[in-house]
Amino acid sequence: MQDFDFDLFVIGGGSGGVRAGRVAAQTGARVALAEEDRYGGTCVIRGCVPKKLMVFASEFPAAMSQARAYGWDVQQGAFDWGQFKGQLHAELDRLEGVYRNILKNNGVTTFDARASLVDAHTVMLADGRRFSARHILLAMGGRPVLPDMPGAELGITSNEIFHLPELPKRMLIIGGGYIACEFACILNGLGVEVTQFYRGAQILRGFDDEARGLVAEEMRQNGVDLHLGTNILSMQKEGAQIRVLATNGSDTLFDQVMFATGRAPNTAGMGLAEIGVRLGRNGQVLVDDYSQTSVPSIYAVGDVTDRVNLTPVAIREGMAFVETVFNANPTPVDHALIPTAIFTQPEMGTIGQSEEEARAIGPVEIYATSFKPMRESFAGGTQRVLMKLVVCATTRKVLGCHIVAPGAGEMIQLAGIAVKMGATKEDFDRTVAVHPTMSEEIVTMKQPVRSA
């Protein structure tokens, strides 16, 4: 029987790789992990965590305005980006230390180095050292990419947004996905004059039409200058600014341009295709239901597989991998009915099918209500929220739940349990409302607004 240096060699120190490495080590396996950048991956270092902290920071101007309507003598001062950025990076350093300690405390051998594959059982580090492993797990994640267009190098991506020396006065964001929309709202809240271009007919493609329409409307109400059906023709440097000519005829100077137009898996230069690992058109690692690649000893989890690119999904995939390989319990990854949140202002929380997806499959009933919540109404605000259920007309099962409201992310986590369990509309109806709350509308909508 061949002896290996390690039972498992993980490439990538993000959420999926670290979880898989730690849990595998707890089974008694000899585990190594290589990471060329910072531990914690996209989520902790340049994604969900710093983004959410920026979301919190950006919400205070509206909160202070609302406080005055409630009788508080609150005076809004200036936002100190330097102070906030210092605290932000100190927190990221702390979290990276937590990830390193998790691996150390579980006996995982770590290498701060880039790794590539030599063959089905051999990993080579950038310094030339080679290690053999019974199993190799690819968990390198993904990265934002700039579009192929003249002047694109003048722009930045979501990676650089957390490191700006100062906040721009005027900023253009290109894209209509959740990253583009979240940062448009964040920077707008922090006092930046934000313009957003999206070439499509509506932002947040793939989400429920009614929900994304309301998010777009509220973003405009809050001050984001959103232009749909619009793209860049050219970008050129002009002094310290960037001149942007757009398809809508505008010719504008911006201090910064941020591209949020796509991400790509980190598979380049890894030696994957050379040893027989099949890759997709976008460079993603192709895997089966058990995260196994075309090379039996090599598995892949997380964004590098381009399945469902969400941190909790990568963690679930890592756990299923360990169950399958180290606990002799073949466990496929369940990618059905995943709740998710988009941290725009207002937030969107969603699980299951959109109205459009469900209608294409069979007859449905739509229960929906849009209203101005009590807190907003009292303060004289205009912001509306949406509560929506998509129900199968024959089985009565709730196929989708879509919420646009402050705190929608918190709400959808709990609503997601019921939808995942297969709850019917009558199960929702039998649940007593919590009053007065926004979310009580989810259980008090008795008549469908339309059927299809």
Does 122 fall in a domain? yes
256, 291: one domain: no
What does the alpha-carbon distance between residue 115 and residue 126 come to, in Å, rounded to a whole number? 6
What does the alpha-carbon distance between residue 155 and residue 160 come to, in Å, rounded to a whole number? 10
133, 195: one domain: no
| Residue ranges making up the domain that contains 346 | 340-451
Contact of 299 with 292, CB cutoff 8 Å:
yes
pLDDT, residue 263, reads 96
pLDDT, residue 149, reads 85
pLDDT, residue 1, reads 52
163 classed as catalytic: no
Measured on CA atoms in the order 107, 112, 114, 119, is the torsion positive or negative?
negative
Beta bridge partner(s), residue 109 = 32
136, 271: one domain: yes
pLDDT, residue 434, reads 98
Does 1 fall in a domain? no
Segments of the chain scoring below 70 in pLDDT: 1
Which of 301, 326, 351 marks a domain boundary? 326
241, 275: one domain: no
Task: Kindly report the number of other CB atoms within 10 A of residue 71's CB atom.
Answer: 7
pLDDT, residue 362, reads 97
CATH of the domain at 246: 3.50.50.60
Burial 350-377 (b: 16+ CB within 10 A, else e): bbbbbbeebbeeeebbbbbebeebeebe
pLDDT, tens digit (0-9, with 9 covering 90-100), for 238-290: 999 999 999 999 999 999 999 999 999 999 999 999 999 999 999 999 999 99
Average pLDDT, the chain: 97
Tally of domains within the chain? 3
374, 305: one domain: no
CATH of the domain at 442: 3.30.390.30
Write out the E strands in 139-192.
Answer: 142-144, 170-174
Annotated catalytic residue within 121, 163, 402, 435: 435
pLDDT, residue 283, reads 97
Burial 268-303 (b: 16+ CB within 10 A, else e): eebbbeebebebeeebbbebeebbbbebeebbbbbb
The widest CA-to-CA distance across the chain, in whole angstroms, is: 76
Burial, 22: exposed, middle or buried (Cβ in 10 Å; 0-12, 13-18, 19+)?
A: buried
Which of 326, 348, 366 marks a domain boundary? 326
Which of 326, 353, 370 marks a domain boundary? 326
